[in-house]
Amino acid sequence: MPTLTEKLALQGGAPAMTITPAERWQPPVEREIELVSRLIRERYLSAAGRGFAREFEDEFGAWLGVKHCASQNTGTSTLQAAYFAVGVGPGDEVLHPCYTWICSIAPAVHLGARPVFCEIDADTLVIDPADMERRITPRTRCISVVHLFGNPVDMDAIMDVARRHRIPVVEDCSHAHGATYDGRKVGTIGDVGCFSMQGTNPGGKAVSGGEGGMIVTNEDHLWERIMAYGHLNRKGLVDEYVSPEYRALGETGLGLKFRAHPLALAVAKVSFETLEWRNQRIAENRQRLAAAPERVTAITLVTSYAKAHMAGFYGGLKGIYQPERLGGLPVERFLAAVRAEGAPMNGRAYDLHHLLPLFARGFDLYGGGRGPLTGDYRGYRPGDLPVSEAVHPNIVSFPALIDPAPGYLEQYGAALEKVAAHYRELL
Amino acid sequence: MPTLTEKLALQGGAPAMTITPAERWQPPVEREIELVSRLIRERYLSAAGRGFAREFEDEFGAWLGVKHCASQNTGTSTLQAAYFAVGVGPGDEVLHPCYTWICSIAPAVHLGARPVFCEIDADTLVIDPADMERRITPRTRCISVVHLFGNPVDMDAIMDVARRHRIPVVEDCSHAHGATYDGRKVGTIGDVGCFSMQGTNPGGKAVSGGEGGMIVTNEDHLWERIMAYGHLNRKGLVDEYVSPEYRALGETGLGLKFRAHPLALAVAKVSFETLEWRNQRIAENRQRLAAAPERVTAITLVTSYAKAHMAGFYGGLKGIYQPERLGGLPVERFLAAVRAEGAPMNGRAYDLHHLLPLFARGFDLYGGGRGPLTGDYRGYRPGDLPVSEAVHPNIVSFPALIDPAPGYLEQYGAALEKVAAHYRELL
């Protein structure tokens, strides 16, 4: 290949990549406008439990194969409702992977719970069930798992721990719309499933409407709490309650409002219509791209558990850079060289959350030494989660492409190969 | 007038009202669609602190004359952020009027505070400052006032109590966009102002975008807490922090997400463009309608404090039915007769919240006897707030019309007069 003999772009050579833009797929914008305009004309701008919003919820729930499904205003509020539903409150502990997005953690903190951070597995980048089990205490009220970047958690192991210790499981599926474990869609295996619908396609959540979320459960008594907590004045709300103390609450429930915006749901519905097709295309292109890092040998692609099937792919495709294979070349230098060739590749994506100042040092949320992150809260230090801290600096992201320009993936592979061939010049 | 000799419609006579529909004004739907379509094409579907959302926030803040203004996803979340900002947390008490909407109360409860319900004034239907002051304890962390149905609270009296006791004031202005007290717009007098933008015009909040809210303050240290609490990843977030412990939190703040949907803001912006004109028209039509109840003598219109100027008018115009002026005719019977004449008139609008089962009996929010509404929470009983309980059954609502059909208001007055003339037949 001629590119292999060319000087590195970082050192003045011609970049290996010439094809742009990478992604040819475009979201069906006019279809979004058509649906949104229809709802505006119908003055359907604040509604829940009826009409378009309810139809979309029912469709999404049926696609997952789950009994109850409600739309909410953010993925974050679905997590808050999920933690509330399973009984998270003041004095509790919730187990979280240390590597995720803060919105998966903070809602439990604001219910009064302390986050207990767990190691991630160095190959899958999702929560390590064995490490997680070791952190269970009498105060552990919930296991929170995240199917990070669309890669399902080892749900057999998680559910085994959960059942033995009788601790409910919340699945954060914000990155993983359509991913499966043992043939079941993620979000339907634990007690409550939460899906963000933030952003826009491509690049946003796999089903995206700007801001929004979906919350699902098969359990009537959890659904009752989800409904009472954030769905006041939802049509038919009282019919969703199963116990007398909730029925007494009536239409105003517990008084919070997590209702989704109908126009967000309209955009998300249009996104949902192409989800399976996009998931399929990204999976195929992932396979094609997989050839490149293996050829380069400097990057190991993230692996999945045996029963897991990736989808959603929020945040791009993930690999782990192996500096020892390129003579110890630091990851930043490697990434700079790759990018100079015109090949998009990003680093870590998320911080390790046990080392965020908020969770490492703690914070007096309400003043006067109140809240879960103050008092005898011990916080975290570098070294507390050695496996995660070792792998974290070397996590890299590839583009998750739906309809790449012809030849793009081949050029991408060639760019990586070129950098690998010249790494000594970068040391 | 011929209608006075006609039999009551409730007893088989011809209804006094023949003009329909009452409201001729229509919201500028095509302008909403134009703006929403532009934002969809620009893929401006999740953004904060920049572009259109920021421009609208700045415009809204400048109109109020306030230093800081941010949009949020609901009025409820603005109240949650306001209570958090002023330091409401576990173990606190918050003073609320007993007559309001639950979303003004519940966010403080979910921060761990107990609601302490106060009497309303029987003429203005808003919180009674003297009664409120008597309920202050060492645990009182916040005074929450609601400019109910657009009628400003006695802010001089409220701020006097607040200053003497050093308790911050949150203004719920969800019904009162543009109302003033002593020449200042409500929301800018207390420590934090909150505005719902729920629903659609006419009928929804005076500025409405389906679901949404605005939160405002003049205080940098409160703004810092508002920003950290629910505005993660807002553009320029870290620049809004004034103290080092907040700056250390960085772009993810305290991890919650109250960001408004841009399409909600687009609809709300179009609504905002006609606000002052609508407020003016409703105020004029209120004056015209005022003639009718006075003529009838069975209804006293809600009054305002000397320095207060109503606006917003959410929930319609309010009056208090005086059964003793119609020989003790019960309010339900009076309302039925008025409605039978074709004159829309509704009752109480809101429950007295100290008597809602949630607050009267309490509720074990988190299970295991945790949360502010359990343990030694005493709850409320009928008779606890006698002034409010006496006036509440007789509260009635008139239409707040922007551009009534010609002759409509005159017919409305005639319908009321007819019922009053025939009341003996209803006893």
**pLDDT, tens only, A47-81:** 999 999 999 999 999 999 999 999 999 999 999 99
Q: Residue holding tokens 């390790």? A: A352
Residues of A in contact with B257 (CB under 8 A): 74-77, 103, 211
The pLDDT of residue B229: 98
CA A25 to centroid of chain Cα atoms: 22
Instruction: For residue A124, give both structure tokens.
Output: 């899958």
The pLDDT of residue B348: 84
The pLDDT of residue A293: 67
Residues of B in contact with A262 (CB under 8 A): 210
Rounded CA-CA distance A218/A221 in Å is: 9
Neighbouring CB atoms inside 10 A of A340's CB total: 19
The pLDDT of residue A3: 61
CATH 3.90.1150.10 is held by the domain B2-26+275-426: yes
Burial of B261 (0-12, 13-18, 19+ CB in 10 A): buried
Q: Of B105, B365, B370, which to mutate for an interface test with A (greatest number of A Cβ within 10 Å)?
A: B365
Span B376-388, mean pLDDT?
Answer: 98
Alpha carbons within 13 A on the beta-carbon side of B2: 5
State pTM to two decimals.
Answer: 0.97
Residue A29: closest C-alpha in chain B: B41
B33 vs A43: CB contact, 8 Å cut-off?
no
Rounded CA-CA distance B379/B354 in Å is: 8
Rounded CA-CA distance A182/A162 in Å is: 17
Which amino acid makes up residue B383?
Answer: G
Residues of A in contact with B72 (CB under 8 A): none
A259 vs B361: CB contact, 8 Å cut-off?
no
Of the listed ranges A339-348, B69-78, B128-137, the one predicted with least confidence: A339-348
Query: Chain B within 8 Å of A88 (Cβ-Cβ)?
Result: yes
User: If we measure between CA atoms, which residue out of A226, A211, A242, A260 comes closest to residue A51?
Assistant: A260
Rounded CA-CA distance A289/B127 in Å is: 65
Burial of B337 (0-12, 13-18, 19+ CB in 10 A): buried
Residues of A in contact with B211 (CB under 8 A): 45-46, 73, 257, 259-261
Neighbouring CB atoms inside 10 A of B390's CB total: 10
User: If we measure between CA atoms, which residue out of B102, B209, B120, B43 comes closest to residue A237?
Assistant: B102
> What is the tally of helices (H) and strands (E) in chain B?
16, 13
Q: Which fold has domain A2-25+275-426?
A: Aspartate Aminotransferase, domain 1 (3.90.1150)
Query: Chain A within 8 Å of B238 (Cβ-Cβ)?
Result: no
pLDDT tens per residue, chain A (427 residues)? Answer: 456 778 999 999 999 999 999 999 999 999 999 999 999 999 999 999 999 999 999 999 999 999 999 999 999 999 999 999 999 999 999 999 999 999 999 999 999 999 999 999 999 999 999 999 999 999 999 999 999 999 999 999 999 999 999 999 999 999 999 999 999 999 999 999 999 999 999 999 999 999 999 999 999 999 999 999 999 999 999 999 999 999 999 999 999 999 999 999 999 999 999 999 999 999 999 998 887 766 677 999 999 999 999 999 999 999 999 999 999 999 999 999 999 999 999 988 899 999 999 999 999 999 999 999 999 999 999 999 999 999 999 999 989 999 999 999 999 999 999 999 999 999 9
Residues of A in contact with B260 (CB under 8 A): 211
A87 vs B366: CB contact, 8 Å cut-off?
yes
The pLDDT of residue A4: 72
To the nearest 10 degrees (0 to 180), the angle between helices A331-340 and A408-421 is: 130
The pLDDT of residue A294: 66
Residues of A in contact with B254 (CB under 8 A): 106, 110, 358, 363, 365
CA B249 to each of CA A10, A115, A365, A425: distance values in angstroms, whole numbers, following the listed order: 35, 16, 12, 39
Query: Chain B within 8 Å of A247 (Cβ-Cβ)?
Result: no
Rounded CA-CA distance A369/A367 in Å is: 5
A261 vs B210: CB contact, 8 Å cut-off?
yes
> Torsions phi, psi of B412, nearest 5?
-60, -45
Contact B217, B78 (CB under 8 A): no
pLDDT, tens digit, 9 for 90 and up, residues B78-112: 999 999 999 999 999 999 999 999 999 999 999 99
Residues of B in contact with A111 (CB under 8 A): 366
User: Which residues are registered as beta bridge partners of B146?
Assistant: B172
DSSP label of A121: P
ipTM above 0.85?
A: yes
Query: Chain B within 8 Å of A377 (Cβ-Cβ)?
Result: no
B107 vs A262: CB contact, 8 Å cut-off?
no
Query: Could you say which architecture CATH assigns to the domain A29-273?
Result: 3-Layer(aba) Sandwich (3.40)
Question: Per-domain residue ranges for chain A?
Answer: 2-25+275-426, 29-273
Span B186-190, mean pLDDT?
Answer: 98
Query: Chain A within 8 Å of B264 (Cβ-Cβ)?
Result: yes
Residue B90: closest C-alpha in chain A: A370
Query: Chain A within 8 Å of B358 (Cβ-Cβ)?
Result: yes
DSSP label of A9: G
- Considering only CB atoms, B102 lies closest to which of A33, A36, A252, namely A252
Residues of A in contact with B78 (CB under 8 A): none
Q: Name the 3-class secondary structure at A398.
A: strand
Span B170-197, mean pLDDT?
Answer: 98
Contact B125, B151 (CB under 8 A): yes
The pLDDT of residue A289: 84
- Considering only CB atoms, A73 lies closest to which of B211, B254, B263, namely B211
Residues 27-86 of B with CB under 8 A from A: 29, 32-33, 36-37, 40-41, 43, 45-46, 73-77, 84
- Considering only CB atoms, A357 lies closest to which of B88, B199, B249, namely B249
